[in-house]
A and B are shown apart, each in its own frame.
Chain A
Amino acid sequence: MSGSQVMRMGMSSMQATVVSDRLSRKVSRNIRERAIELVLFFAASVSVLTTIGIIWILVFESYHFFENVPLWNFLTDTMWTPLFSEPRYGILPLLLGTVTTSLVALAVAVPLGTIIAIYISEFASARVRETVKPFLELLGGVPTIVYGYFALTVVSPVLQYFFPSLPGFSMLAAGLVMGIAIVPYISSLSEDAMRAVPMSLREGAYAMGSTRFQTAVRVVLPAAISGVLSAYILGISRAVGETMIVAVAAGMQPNFTMDPTEPAQTISAYIVQVAMGDLPHGSIGYQSIFAAGLSLMLLTLFFNILGHMIRRRYREAY
């Protein structure tokens, strides 16, 4: 509200100005406001339009794919060999590859991320916290291709040392490293959620004679559960969509198995493989990556919606 308007409102009480006069529009200010609003609107539209564009392309190209390949085959066939002379288009091997590597990753990232969050939020001194957090952020900033080569050249050989029968490419090695890559996301979001728990709740817990650990695990963690669970969901989404680590370290053969000690291909890794090759535009092989991409997107969409529901279900009003 401008100064003159305030004055006018102040005077109105004494002079009883007409209401329409008090609210009279200033043309120049109006134009400027509208211009700013438009800029903001376009900025916001970019993300919406991009999303719509992506969905449109995925659906459009997948539609052509499903003209040639029945949806039923796509969902039930256990072979994925689109580049062979007798192609089979069953998404299940890729889906199992994605699920298996993600499960291995989560088995690492969820416990580790949660423990780190509890430690940093409830136990660490300010000094330790300020030292550890930059390292975690650094870990989160490492390019995933670097993680991929770390999995292939360090983790795989180490695992092979203990389990000599393990192949050089395996979902286990890729999943473990992917888990490490996801830890920073889970730990930092969980920690934010736990730090947002009001001090009065901790005081209440301590006043009941709780130890630090009891306070952290029995009171603070349950109070932050909606944030912690959505951190897990974000971790799942990242694991499902993660590409480079699995492309480099999990092998490139579609493999209808959930055994993590086997090599396999994930949906994302398949997309990389085909997108890099020189398949003719419009061929079924080319279209298959859009069908795979659509499946991947529906999968992450499912987890995002799940995360949203969990957040709403467990939202804690302090």
Chain B
Amino acid sequence: MAKTEQDLPLKAETRDFNFHYGAFHALKNVNLPVVEKRVTALIGPSGCGKSTLLRSFNRMHDLYPGNRYDGAIVFHPDNTNIVDPKVDPIEVRMRIGMVFQKPNPFPKSIYENVAYGLRVRGERSQSAIDGRVESALRGASLWNEVKDRLDKPATALSGGQQQRLCIARCLATDPELLLFDEPTSALDPIATSNIEELITELRERVTILIVTHNMQQAARVSDYTAYMYIGELVEYGVTDDLFMRPKKKETEDYITGRFG
């Protein structure tokens, strides 16, 4: 199994990863380790490619024509190259959950939203689904708020609750890696701090990769941080080191707010 400098097991890593939107070279030779059961944050100014990189992990770009992956995103422990065209993107997405910028609950009841992934995976046993739904909602700190109205439409929840529902929806299927694409940018400060707390709790259970615009958020929730700029990975390190003692001048300029 691959290891980092600190000898921690990796859940995934990109190897000389490149991505093209048509003629636009969006990611250039990115080598990013994602440590298992830790939170890795991707930061950088708008357009630096951090969301593009995140969305490569679950082959989201496959939904749109004219894109190209080069290099590898290796998923451990089985060393699957996620972006290999021979690998079925649905298999990849079955193992990797994703929470989006704007909460996107399905037009179904709260219960059915959480049960969705299980049903898609062919789970038929009602009691098994009941149990998973409850534990997923508990895992997303939402159970107490919704346990009496599981049959109500998910769209009736507040924005922060919807986002926790989307997290519960992922947790129900026990993903090995959870991708967060600026999960709090559409939320108010209280909902934001709830989500951040949740991410900190979840790191015990699942590997997390999070894109954030908010550097304080990266500093608060992540163990490792990668700074990206115009499609390149500029610096990667333990979050405290990167924020306190950045090795590169560009990183320092960005995190001290001199630019970006």
Contacts and interface: CB of A to CB of B under 8 A. Distances in A.
Interface of A is mostly: helix
A207 interface: yes
Given A209-B90, A209-B94, A316-B155, A204 B166 contact: yes
User: Nearest 8 CB-CB pairs, A to B?
Assistant: A209-B94, A207-B98, A204-B104, A209-B93, A223-B107, A200-B104, A208-B117, A222-B107
A70 B55 CA distance: 71
A225 B58 CA distance: 29
A219 B106 contact: yes
B116 A200 contact: no
Given A204-B166, A317-B155, A218 B104 contact: no
Contacts of B108: 222
A34 B207 CA distance: 66
A203 B58 CA distance: 11
A198 B105 CA distance: 12
Contacts, number: 64
Given A202-B63, A317-B155, A209 B120 contact: yes
B173 interface: yes
Most chain A CB within 10 A, of B60, B107, B155, is at B107
B44 interface: no
Contacts of A214: 120
A203 B121 contact: no
14 contacts: A203-B63, A204-B100, A204-B104, A207-B93, A207-B97, A208-B93, A208-B120, A208-B173, A209-B94, A209-B117, A209-B120, A211-B120, A225-B107, A317-B155
Nearest to B63: A206
A209 B188 CA distance: 29
B107 A200 contact: no
A121 to B, nearest CB: 14
Kindly name the residue among A207, A210, A211, A222 whose own CB sees the greatest number of chain B CB atoms within 10 A. A207
A233 to B, nearest CB: 19
Interface string A177-216: 0000000000000000000001011111111111100100
A198 B121 CA distance: 24
A316 B90 CA distance: 28
A209 B92 CA distance: 8
Nearest to A210: B120
A207 B181 CA distance: 12
Contact of B60 (A207, A211, A218): A207
